[in-house]
Structure 1
Amino acid sequence: MKELVESIAKALVDHPEDVHVTENDEGRSLTLKLSVHADDMGKVIGKQGRIAKAIRSVVYAAGVSQNKRINLEIG
């Protein structure tokens, strides 16, 4: 799951070397924290949060197939 978020984020930003995802697995719950370069924050969030919402939708769908509840934090 971590690799999925990294690959999506790296495709969106100007500084892909600054994309980092940390993973915290708590049984049936998985928390992913995405951090990017400050200049790229707007590109990952998008207008009115549309891109962030789309990334979350993809991650949630992937989590359903693994029977996990996924929480994606961007910051």
Structure 2
Amino acid sequence: MTRDADVDALVTYVVTSLVEHPEEVAIDKQETDALTTYEVTVHPDDVGKVIGRQGRVVKSLRVLVRAAASLNGSDATVEVVG
């Protein structure tokens, strides 16, 4: 059975749900042969909410994104740019 995950929609949904200013969320997708990187830019006041204490929120987001991408047979990660 083949499953397809919409990783782009997952990243957008989770990040916009976390922040106070969802209209200022920008997600840039960088693709290479082996890895897709989602560069997340948010309002300066929301950076801490996306990163979380000791990076726990962004680590959890990376786990979710990597698991969803593996359903498509690829690898992905998330970076918070600012």
Alignment TM-score > 0.5, same fold: yes
1: CA distance between counterparts of 2:37 and 2:59? 16
2: CA distance between counterparts of 1:71 and 1:14? 23
Q: Does the Cα contact within 8 Å between 1:34 and 1:73 map onto a contact in 2?
A: yes
Q: Which has the higher strand share?
A: 1
1:59 aligns with 2:65: yes
Shift of 1:71: 2.3
Read off the aligned partner of 1:8 and give its amino acid letter. V
Gaps of 5+ in 2: 1-6
Aligned to 2:18: 12
C-alpha RMSD over aligned residues: 1.1
Bigger Rg over Cα: 2
Aligned pairs for 1:1-75 within 5 A: 1-75=7-81
Q: Deviations over 1:17-68 (max 9, x none)?
A: 0111111222342111111100000000000000011100100100111111
Read off the aligned partner of 2:73 and give its amino acid letter. N
Q: Does the Cα contact within 8 Å between 2:58 and 2:78 map onto a contact in 1?
A: no
Q: Does the Cα contact within 8 Å between 2:24 and 2:43 map onto a contact in 1?
A: yes
Q: Does the Cα contact within 8 Å between 1:28 and 1:67 map onto a contact in 2?
A: no
1: CA distance between counterparts of 2:45 and 2:60? 20
Q: Percent identity?
A: 36
